[in-house]
């Protein structure tokens, strides 16, 4: 039996919550992803009210927290991609890494918003 064939190829988030130490996303296919809150330095430094103010991106491809300008993609959560904190050298300007699915989602969202 090939179990890989039964895993949906388009994972989407239907519900998300942030606890004092975890980011928990429930997917439409029933899976639950939980990652350490420390993986998002923006959310770990945010207030409870800022963490509670979010919206799903698209049909659940990611989550956006406007108060702290944080975007997390379902792919980034599934692949275990923590957000990188800017270094002193890059402080004051937005840092985008080519390899991070979460940051790629943020760039895509920004380009779509400009159209």
This prediction's pTM: 0.70
pLDDT at 86: 85
- The CATH code of the domain that includes 55 is 3.30.2020.40
Q: For 3-48, what is each residue's pLDDT tens digit?
A: 555 555 789 999 999 999 999 999 999 999 999 999 999 999 999 9
Per-position b or e across 16-50, b if 16+ CB within 10 A of its CB:
bebeeeebebbbeeeeebebebebbbbbbebeeeb
pLDDT band of 108, cuts 50, 70, 90: low
In a domain, 72, yes or no: yes
In a domain, 65, yes or no: yes
Q: Which domain holds residue 102?
A: 10-114
pLDDT at position 81 over 80: yes
CB neighbour class for 81 (10 Å; exposed up to 12, middle 13-18, buried from 19): buried
In a domain, 103, yes or no: yes
| Contact assessment for residue 81 and residue 100, using Cβ atoms and an 8 Å cutoff | yes
């Amino acid at each position: 039996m090939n179990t890989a064939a039964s895993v949906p190829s388009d994972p989407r988030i239907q519900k998300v919550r942030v606890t004092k130490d975890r980011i928990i996303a429930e997917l439409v296919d029933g899976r639950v992803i939980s990652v350490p809150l420390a993986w998002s330095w923006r959310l770990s430094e945010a207030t409870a009210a800022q963490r509670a103010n979010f919206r799903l991106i698209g049909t659940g491809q990611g989550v956006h927290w406007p108060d702290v300008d944080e975007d997390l993609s379902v792919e980034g959560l599934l692949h275990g991609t923590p957000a990188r904190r800017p270094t002193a050298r890059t402080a004051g300007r937005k840092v985008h890494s080519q390899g991070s699915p979460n940051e790629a989602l943020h760039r895509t969202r920004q380009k779509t918003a400009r159209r």
